[in-house]
């Protein structure tokens, strides 16, 4: 396995992140639990593998909870996602957070595997939530990964020490 470097993201990383957001999310906003997030305005981390940007994560702290808003790795099976998740967990713990949580969609079975293997559990299923999300962001497609209809938000969480 290669050594992955991570750092809090810089203005240059945010410019790169804007390009990735357009490609990944169809814009620079993300909807979770009926709220609009602007990941480029949030705190975040960038990951590098052999000097090249290979991933990013953004998060929002509210009280004693931290929401992982985005986590994207552009290479698989190299530990980039895990390294970024560790950075967010550290930042949340340092800020006094007791819970780290995130929203993914019902089609994202790869994310379910990833997060559960890293100690996250299913906290809630918000059935039909994407119907409301599409009112805030009409670009959300009707069908997601593996041809699965996009309908629900899945809330995963993990306690922090």
pLDDT tens by residue, 91-119: 999 999 999 999 999 999 999 999 999 99
Domain ranges across the chain:
4-159
The CA distance from 71 to 58, in Å, is 7
Phi, psi of 16 (to 5 degrees): -65, -40
pLDDT tens by residue, 48-102: 998 889 999 999 999 999 999 999 898 888 889 999 999 999 999 999 999 999 9
CATH of domain 4-159: 3.40.630.30
DSSP classification of residue 18: H
The set of residues, in sequence order, having a beta carbon less than 8 Å from that of 13 and lying 6+ positions away, is 44, 46, 53, 56
For residue 68, the surrounding DSSP H or E stretch is: strand 65-73
Contact (Cβ atoms closer than 8 angstroms) between residue 88 and residue 66: yes
pLDDT tens by residue, 12-49: 888 888 877 777 767 777 888 878 888 888 999 999 99
């Amino acid at each position: 396995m290669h050594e992955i470097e991570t750092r809090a993201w810089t203005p240059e990383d945010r410019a790169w992140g804007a390009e990735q957001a357009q490609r990944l999310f169809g814009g620079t906003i993300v909807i979770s639990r009926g709220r609009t997030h602007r990941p480029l305005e949030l705190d975040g981390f960038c990951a590098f593998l052999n000097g090249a940007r290979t991933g990013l994560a953004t998060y929002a702290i509210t009280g004693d909870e931290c929401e992982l808003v985005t986590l994207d790795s552009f290479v698989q099976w190299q530990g980039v996602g895990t390294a970024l998740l560790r950075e967010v967990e550290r930042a949340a713990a340092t800020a006094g957070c007791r819970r780290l949580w995130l929203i993914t969609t019902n089609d994202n079975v790869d994310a379910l595997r990833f997060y559960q293997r890293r100690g996250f559990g299913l906290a809630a299923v918000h059935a039909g939530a994407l119907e409301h999300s599409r009112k805030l962001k009409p670009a959300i497609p009707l069908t997601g990964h593996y041809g699965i209809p996009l309908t629900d938000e899945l809330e995963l969480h993990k306690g922090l020490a």
